[in-house]
Every structure is written in structure tokens, then in C-alpha cells.
Structure 1
Amino acid sequence: GTVEPWPCPVGHYCGANNSSPVPCPAGTYSNLIELEASSECRLCDPGKYCSTAGLTSPTGSCQAGFYCEAGAINSTGAADEDTSGGRRRVMACPAGHYCTSGASVPTPCPPGTYCEGGDKEPTPCLAGTYNMEEMQTSCRTCPAGYLCYPGGVVDYSDGTTFSPSMLEACLASPEAGGSGRMCVSTMGGHNFSCPPGHYCPEGLRDSSLGRCPPGTFNAHHGLNNVSQCMSCPPGMYCSGSGLAWPSGPCLPGRYCREGAADQYGSTCDNRSVACDSPRCELMIAREINGRSCGGECPAGWICPEGAWAPLPCPPGKYCEQAGRAHETGPCNAGYYCMLEVGGASGSTATPGNSEGRGQCWAGHYCAEGTIAPEPCPRGTFSGRVGNTQLSDCTACPAGHYCATE
């Protein structure tokens, strides 16, 4: 008979009518204990896939040439339907885009390159061809009388090749552009799209006024509204203004939620609304919790580099101080640390009897770093708690028997 109920283990949920833990379904995972319903299992992270049931972390990264939305089951474009809505969660990279390993959204193919579909990286235009715009599936043939360099971006009107450094010079000019464009009628008639990291409303005369704000980035050309700048993804930070890509992963020992504006998660994208994508098909209200988008990892939890939420201390270990990227060390001999937990139970090497951790049971022994108490062998016993080694188990005295382990 059960003496007391066990906490539902990681990777599972335990409903009121379940006699045993039920694995979280494929496409989800859970690194937390005591889940009560499948809805509490976490959708597989964007850019990752979760191929089997009962996972405590994603199986791996989405394969290059594909992109994986939250809840993906496969790493490639195999049949992967969301049973709740019938929407595919793993898709081949669309034409005009490329998808590196771990992609959660397609990246537009930049000017001077082309992407036919399913591309892992953009293909530069060959010598004798050119492209003026992003998201192209082929390159144009260079017209008679003009020279087109490999990967070159050429103005069709006069054949002059220009480079990113020339674009920067253009951005420094005082000329105004139309909505989503800058530098019209500059540099001999070149017409540049608004560059990545910026948005260009109609009449903009200074590119510094159109930089995407801290906590956001923009990998696309031609944006015209600050709401189109994308919030920094979870686990990353976007420091400063005008970023075309996130600055990097959150520091070890810290965690960064969506919109983090520094590597500590202490400042945040402060926009009240944002677009769901650069095409801005839907405006989404943003919840702003003060100025914070994360912070220091609390005691009993760990935050490795790039963490977007604290992770509970792993089994057999304890995580003593706040701000830790890894566990402090193994739980002390005489104690067991069975489950992955955070808070007070995960912050001490000598935990109290709660949350699947505590002092070693009578009839058992627990060496340093024990996950589950080891029973005394057949023919031995121990009436004490907190045993640390096999020798703490005493031979059964004459006239008695000790049958069970």
C-alpha cells in the first residue's frame, strides 16, 4: 500500500483519475514536477523538435532547410500536423528565404543572392547576373553594356555596382524617402529600401530616428513602422538601437525573457504593442512587467547561457546560491535528491523531507550525490535514518531473518 503520494515526475502529468504518470505527448516536454494535465506540458521550443512522449527537454534542433514552430514533432518536413488545429508546425524553407539549423522563422534571402526553396543558406548571384531586392528565387541577366560582379547588387538604370558601405553613406544623407524607403534621388538616382535594424516612415530625414529600439531587432528591408521591429527572442538580448540581429545569448546565471534589452535581463522592450511578424498582419498587445525582462537566477535553480527561464536543480545535485549557471555540487552523503526541483529544497545539500528530497530512509543508505536511497542488502538491516554507506547496514542477528531489500 502507498504510504504517501509521490510527486508526478518530470516529462509526465498526473490527472485526478490517473493511477500512474502519463507521458507528455510528442511535440511537448516538461522539466517540472507535479503537472496535473497535458495542457501544462510545454510546447516544444521554436526552432526545436520533440519527437517522442515523456521528454524533459527538446530532442534537438530543426534541420537546416526547414523551420520549426513551437510544438514541432519532427526535425524536417515529414507529416507533422497539429491535432488541435491541423496546422503544420515543421515546414520546408519557402522560396526566397533560407533556414539554418534551429530556425524558427525563415530568413529573407538578401539582395545579391537567390533562394529557390528549402535552402540552408543563400546562393550568391553568379557573375553576369544581379539582384536588387531581397527574397528573390533567381537572378536577372546583366543587360548589354554593363558588368555584374558575383553576388553584386546592381542598379538596373545605370549598371553601377554599390556595396553596404555605400548604403551607409546614403543613410547619412539628408534626403527623404517614401514610406519604407530612404535616400531617394541620392547617389546618382539609387533608391534603397530601408535597411535591416531600421524602420522608415514617410518623410524620414535622419536614419538615427528610425532605428529599432533596445530590446528589438529587424532582419528585413523596407519596414515603415516601429511596431514591425521584432521583440528579442527568449534567451537572447538585443542591446542598443538599430540591430539587424540579436546581440547574443543571455549571460550564464541570468535569464532573459522575450524583449530583453541587456545581457542581464534587467531592461526590456518597452513598446505597448508589436506586430506578429514584419508583414504586420496582426497587432499584439504586450504585457510590460515594470522594466524587467528576466533577471538573476534564484537559489535552487540554474540558468545556463541563453536561458529564457530558470531551470530546477537537477537530481542528485543542489544549487546553493542565486546567479548560478550550473549546480553547486552533489547532495551530501546521508541524504537523497531524487527529483529536479527549485527553491529551498533545491538550494541545500541537506534537504528536508519534501519534494522528493530528504534524509536517507531507515533500512537504506545514501552515498554522496544519491538520487534514490539504496536498500540494505538481503541479510542486513538498519533502524537508523541518514546512513551514508553500505557498512552502516548491520548483519541480521542470530535467531532473526532480514528477507527484503
Structure 2
Amino acid sequence: MAGYVCPVGSSSPHARSNACPPGTFSNHLHLFDKSQCETCPARFVCTRGTGGKQKPPVPCPVGHYCPPGTKYPAQYKCAPGTWSNRTSLASEEECLPCPAGWFCVAGAHVPSGRCSPGHYCPDGTRTSTQFPCPAGTYSTRLGNGRVEDCIACPVGSYCTDGTSKPTLCPVGTYRKEQGAKVSEDCVPCPGGYHCPELGTVAPQACGAGRFSDPGSASCLSCLVGHYCADEITSREAMLLAMVCPAGLLCPEGQAVAPDANGNACPRGYYCPRGDIVRGSVWLLLFTILSSSGLCFWEARVESVLLLESLPALGCLIFLLWFP
């Protein structure tokens, strides 16, 4: 029987053990040894027992190629990045490169899918994410075929490799230029400004009477003993250059340079420079006035000395320091 051999002592012409092995065939009768089976020709598949009209060699399937001696249909797949919609290929070189904008897995008989957003797929691409858009660029589209299809990351954002949706710069930072690659490319908001929203493009000035540190998402009221006359006052400028002069009183949120008309020290008080350390030193001075039997109490609080009289029996000077 074609496709089989009948060695001495065979009891059946259809015994599986007597079939021509996979990768071979025979159209002849009266064979007695498997070595007489012929190698399967290129472009065809020969499974076990191939031969004759009842089981001829099968054409190589689409997405595959079949060199001589091919044993089963899926033995030789077109490589990843290639495809074929034709049958009876003999070599890998006959598989076609995957077209730009698509990717092709192994054994594809049609391109396997469109290139993923945030990526591009030149000819011969194997997976949808093989070629990510470079850092500093992004793409929301399917099916990009060239790196030039990736566009610059927008202002207020940064784009790492393979970005399909830009990431907004965090609060307290901003980005005026396109093409940021990592979060560190977002610039800390400068002192005197604030960046309250994700994706800030231009910092917002704090305004008079307020200040901020670098990297701030919000501004603070100007500190007692200082003034914030500029629209963009930083903490450093406030502490070093905008100190309330001696003899004047600057409350929280002072928005203009103090003067004697609007900021004079109240009657019965005295006002040292505003940069005297506040809240750290209390000076209590008890003085006995022998003629009246009264004690005058002076306490330094927020750079203002209060004067009150209290009954007392003796004279005491007491100095307390707090860290």
C-alpha cells in the first residue's frame, strides 16, 4: 500500500508501525523497508503514512514555509515581523515583511494588529509595543509607522518612553517648554509665585501682602514684623530685605512698605525692629516703686513691650530663655 512498507512477517499493510515516517512519503507499492520512503518535497507537508492518491503530500499552509522533509503543517512558521497569505512557500525568505503601522506575530497569515498608541511600527515589527515613542514625545494614535509620527510632549507635562497620554507636572512645579522627558524636567515654582494646579504652564504671582517658598502650591500671609510690598515676594526677600523698622508696627499680611502715618507704634508701647526673634524670649521685670507700692510688669511679646501695673511686695528681675 502507498505510504507504507511491509517488512518480512507483516500481518497488516495498515499497521502504524509500518507507515512512512513524518517528513517522508511513498507512491510505490511493495516496499519492505522505511529507508525506501522518499523525503517530502519542498512546499509540502508529509505526515505519517503519506503517499498515493488516498493521502498525497499537503501544500504548505499560509503563514508558514515548508523546506524538504517537513513533518507537520505548523513546523516552520513565518518569523515574527513577517507574514504570508500564500500557500506552498519553500523558505523563510518568501515570507513578507510586516507593513509599517502594523505588527506580525509568528505564523501570521495577515498582519496581526495595529501599532499601539505611544509607539510606532516600521516595516518588520514583531509586537505592538516593540518601538516606543522616545522620551519627550507621545502619540494617542493607533498605527504609527514612523518615529516622526510621535509628537513633542506639550507644555505643563512630561512624557517618558512609550507615552500615549502626557503626565501633568505636579502641583508646585511648572513647565513652559515642550519636550519634557521625566518629572524632574518640571521646574519648581520660584519663591514669590505659586503653582496650585497640575500641569501649570506659567507660575502665578503671590501678590502684595503674601509670600512663598520655592516649590509652593499656595502662598502665605506676610509674617508679623515684616512687609511684602512686591507682587512676587519670596521668604528670603521678606526676611532679609522687608523688615519692619524700629518704631513701626507691621501686622500679618502687611502689603505696603510701613510708614509713620499708617504703622506707628501705639501709645504706651515700643516697637523694636521686626526681625527680633519672636516668641523665644520673655523678659519679665518687676520693679518696686517704694512710693506707691506698685510693680510694673514688662513682657516682650511679638516684638512689642506691654506695660501694666500689678501689686507686688518685693523687687525681682527674672529672665527666662526658651529654645
TM-score (norm. length: structure 1) = 0.39
TM-score (norm. length: structure 2) = 0.48
